[in-house]
Amino acid sequence: MVKIKTKIIKIESLNIDMSKLKEAGQAIREGKIVAFPTETVYGLGADALNEEAIKKIFLAKDRPLYDPLIVHINCLEDAMDLVEELPPIARKLGQMFWPGPLTMVMKKSKKISDIVTSGLDTVAIRVPGHPVAQALIREAKKPIVAPSANLFTHVSPTNAQHVIDDLKGKVDIIIDSGETTVGVESTVVDVTELPLKILRLGGTTLESIKKITSKIIIANENEAVQKSPGMLKKHYAPKARLILAEGKNEIMVKNILTAASEYKKEGNKVGIIASKENSDRFSDFLVKIIGNADDLETCAHNLYAQLRLLDEQRCDIIISENFEDKGMGRAIMDRLRRASN
């Protein structure tokens, strides 16, 4: 692929410089590709109605065409043009969770090209909550397709440096607005039929959606891959081999210490993803703390950045603690399971 000049633009989230933002919006209108912050992870954006621009995203990320893209819009009403129908439950969930880390899969309208949906008759739509993402969509005056701004199957980017590391020389603009808040991708829910099906666990918890409707289940692996072809098992992975530790806390800690010592003896550099509570016990190894075990929001926020740091420090093996499979912990465990596959 020919290298292109990537412009890096700093924009403060809470004090948006509109002239800089206009430049990025203009670039989207001209068919260029722009990496920008959302509250989940950084996205790589293009005009959702411009096929040539969308092709550039797949090329830059080395993403296969069978992995469909999420369309980002400013408000629920903007979805009307893009879907065949807005089911009443989608309206309800949109009113409750948008803007925010929830993506809804609905029947697509003719406006949406096959390249966006990988030929599926559904389209995935989200209203992001990040002020820079919202302003960019407004300035571009277009819906924006945006997968995560990382190389395909790699760990998603939660700050601009991560995007630079993966995509500098491959995209037109990278907007730097510091760290994202949520730190894992959006929850993807198929709302075309009842019960609703979660195709990807993420930043909106199952528990919070259940407060709105009880008619929701987590799709099994086969179904998720069938309906959402990008949900490959191996995904969200660091370069090092990742091992997810098993067992409840005390047993888990012992399992990690035994395995880490073995790998170290064999000459491997071992990194450990740990909770604050257990971190002291791993001091013989390279430890990265992601948060208190009962503060799963903080753990989700820090997970990807710490995985990337262990890669930068050239670990051969990363062993991660397991986290409680509830609330945001579901998304953390989903990503760790996929990355360790």
Listed ranges 4-12, 67-75, 135-143, 297-305: which one lies at the site for ligand AMP (CB under 6 A): 67-75
Burial letters 145-168, b for 16+ CB under 10 A, else e: bbbbbbbbbbbbbbbbebbbbbbb
Choose among ligand AMP, Mg ion, none what residue 122 binds, the Cβ cut-off being 5 to 8 Å by kind: ligand AMP
Can you tell me the distance from the alpha carbon of 1 to that of 111, in angstroms, rounded to the nearest whole number? 30
Listed ranges 27-35, 144-152, 208-216, 256-264: which one lies at the site for Mg ion (CB under 5 A): 144-152
Q: Please, are residues 106 and 85 in contact by the beta-carbon 8 Å criterion?
A: yes
Enumerate residues 6+ apart whose C-beta is below 8 A from 177. 10, 11, 12, 13, 36, 37, 130, 132, 160
Of 50, 103, 134, 148, which lies in the binding site for Mg ion, with binding defined by CB under 5 A? 148
Is residue 180 at the binding interface for ligand AMP, with CB under 6 A as the rule? no
Q: How far is the CB of 124 from ligand AMP (least distance, A)?
A: 3
- The owner of tokens 């991560």 is 162
Q: Which is nearer to ligand AMP, 25 or 230 (CB)?
A: 230
Q: Which is nearer to Mg ion, 76 or 133 (CB)?
A: 133
Phi, psi angles (nearest 5°) of residue 290: -110, -5
Residue list 277-306, contact with ligand AMP (CB under 6 A): none
- The owner of tokens 């670990």 is 315
Q: Which is nearer to ligand AMP, 33 or 256 (CB)?
A: 33
Q: Could you tell me which of 263, 273, 249, 259 has the C-alpha nearest to residue 316?
A: 263
# of chain residues touching ligand AMP (CB under 6 A): 21
Is residue 70 at the binding interface for ligand AMP, with CB under 6 A as the rule? yes
Is residue 148 at the binding interface for ligand AMP, with CB under 6 A as the rule? yes
- Residues near ligand AMP (CB under 6 A) are 67-70, 105, 117, 120, 122-124, 147-148, 185, 188, 199-200, 227-231
